[in-house]
Amino acid sequence: MSMTNGGQNGGGAAPQADAGNDAPQLSVLAQYIKDFSFENPLAPRGPGSNQQPAINIQVGVNVNPLNDPDVEVELKIEGSAVMPGNNAVLFAFELVYGGVFRIRNVPQESVQPLMLIECPRLLFPFAREIIATTVQNGGFPPLMLDPVDFAGLYRQNLARAQGAGSPAQA
């Protein structure tokens, strides 16, 4: 499977490369912050403790069909840092980071895993950087999120959906 990053200029060779090529292709057409919030409720006084906060992170993936063969994939990451004992929230964030992907010549049975595993895997480093920088700008050490196992998340949600009898969404 070839992966291309489709920018605004597209490059002079791109149209020729597509001519008569039936190899599977995944192109990134755009990526963007769709929604973002950061809360720092204790600023400027800080946590008042040297204890390590409990970090809670939740990750989700949503797919929105656009014009065939393009889809929008949203990577939603929510998180918070809470002080043990008094449950004071140090910071909380919610990021929806989106991308538009063009998927061509991919067998139908591979399209859903591609959208829910590979597309968010391509978006994740950019979302991770946005979160790390924002947390640091909030007066905390940068929050470096661990890599996410999107294949495991996909399998978990697929099993849950099959148990409930509904289509899978990560």
At the topology level, CATH places domain 29-164 in Bacterial Protein-export protein SecB (3.10.420)
Arithmetic mean of pLDDT, 86-91? 89
Q: CB 27: neighbour CB atoms within 10 A?
A: 19
If you count them, how many residues does the chain have? Answer: 170
Degrees to nearest 5, angle at CA 34 with 147 and 124: 15
pLDDT at 27 over 50: yes
Look up residue 18 and give its two tokens: 């597509």
Model-level pTM greater than 0.95?
no
Look up residue 63 and give its two tokens: 């797919």
C-alpha gyration radius of the chain: 19
| pLDDT, tens digit, 9 for 90 and up, residues 115-142 | 999 999 999 999 999 999 999 999 898 9
